[in-house]
Amino acid sequence: MMNNTFIDKFMSDEKNLAFLNATMWGPNGIRQAEELASHFTITKDMKILDLGCGMGLSAVYLVQAYGAEVFATDLYADPTENHENFQALGIADKIVSMILDATQPLPFAKSYFDVIFSVGAYNMFGDNEEMLTNLIPYVKKGGYIAVAFPGLKYDFGGNVPQEMQPFWEVPEVARYVRGIEWWRNLFNKADGIEIINLSEQACHDVAWDEYIAILDPKKGEKFTLDAECVDKWTLDMKTAEDGKYFNTIQLIAKVL
């Protein structure tokens, strides 16, 4: 289901576009968030835990589109910088910015959240049987766990296509960029949820195009990976992939 009413309006405002271009940390996170959220109901009285929020794009979406109360959490992103950005957008009173490692026991009461939401990050910590099972108790019965993250149309297993082999030499990439059926097998092992939707996001190509457009191979050393600029590495990988293998996978699960 393609839903892009919010993102199209958001990007038509120059100030919003500048913010988006300065904070994208992967394929357009607001676009992915909008498609993910279109599969269930979010209301303004809800409390939402956003895991791996990066610079907060999904949190901005959840507040501006629904007026929900969001806990925007990330292992590395600076909560002060995020809070200041949220202040500039006039939405800081609806968002708690904090550092949080999703792999650790969460510092919240059980059944506290209506929704756990995550865009572009879940595969980095959720590629194991424990993660989904550990998150379930923090969501109220009838609430949702909704995550969208980068994946593959089919799992490479030990058969990595030749053009992708240089990128799959990075152990983290080989570990957490997996095929949709691989994720289906993993998610099916969790008790206490009903899987409402597990599919490839329709916005994948557009979200990537919008990200590629702002990458700068000469940007320098903000992040380094194998001593190369990550922007250049990402551009090279996407060029090699050429639309053949990557997808964006979304899971929407109702907590029983």
Ligand X SMILES: C[S@@+](CC[C@H](N)C(=O)[O-])C[C@H]1O[C@@H](n2cnc3c(N)ncnc32)[C@H](O)[C@@H]1O
Decide if residue 53 touches ligand X (CB under 6 A): yes
Structural contact between residues 90 and 64, judged by C-beta atoms closer than 8 angstroms: no
29 contacts ligand X (rule: CB under 6 A): yes
Residue placing its CB nearer to ligand X in the complex, 54 or 179: 54
Closest alpha carbon to 60 in 83, 35, 36: 83
How far apart (Å, rounded) are the C-alpha atoms in residues 71 and 53? 9
Shortest spacing between CB 26 and ligand X, in angstroms: 4
Asked if 79 interacts with ligand X (CB under 6 A), we say: no
The nearest distance, CB 157 to ligand X, in angstroms, is 24
* Rounded distance between C-alpha atoms, residue 253 and residue 147, angstroms: 9
Among 38, 39, 40, 75, binds ligand X (CB under 6 A): 75
CB of 58 to ligand X, least distance (A): 6
- Draw the binding track, 100-139, toward ligand X (x: CB under 6 A; -: no contact): xxxx---------------xxx--xx--------------
Size of the site for ligand X (CB under 6 A): 23
Q: In angstroms, what is the minimal distance from the CB of 147 to ligand X?
A: 10
Question: Is the CB of residue 146 less than 8 Å from the CB of residue 30?
Answer: no
Are the C-beta atoms of 252 and 40 separated by less than 8 Å?
A: yes
Pairing of strands 246-255, 193-200: antiparallel
Vertex 249 angle, CA 243 and 250, to 5°: 145
Considering beta carbons, is residue 63 or 124 the nearer one to ligand X?
Answer: 124
Q: State yes or no: residue 35 binds ligand X (CB under 6 A).
A: no
Which amino acid is residue 162, in one-letter code? Q
- In eight-state DSSP terms, residue 105 is P
Question: Residue numbers of the site for ligand X (CB under 6 A)?
Answer: 24-26, 29, 51-54, 57-58, 74-77, 100-103, 119-121, 124-125
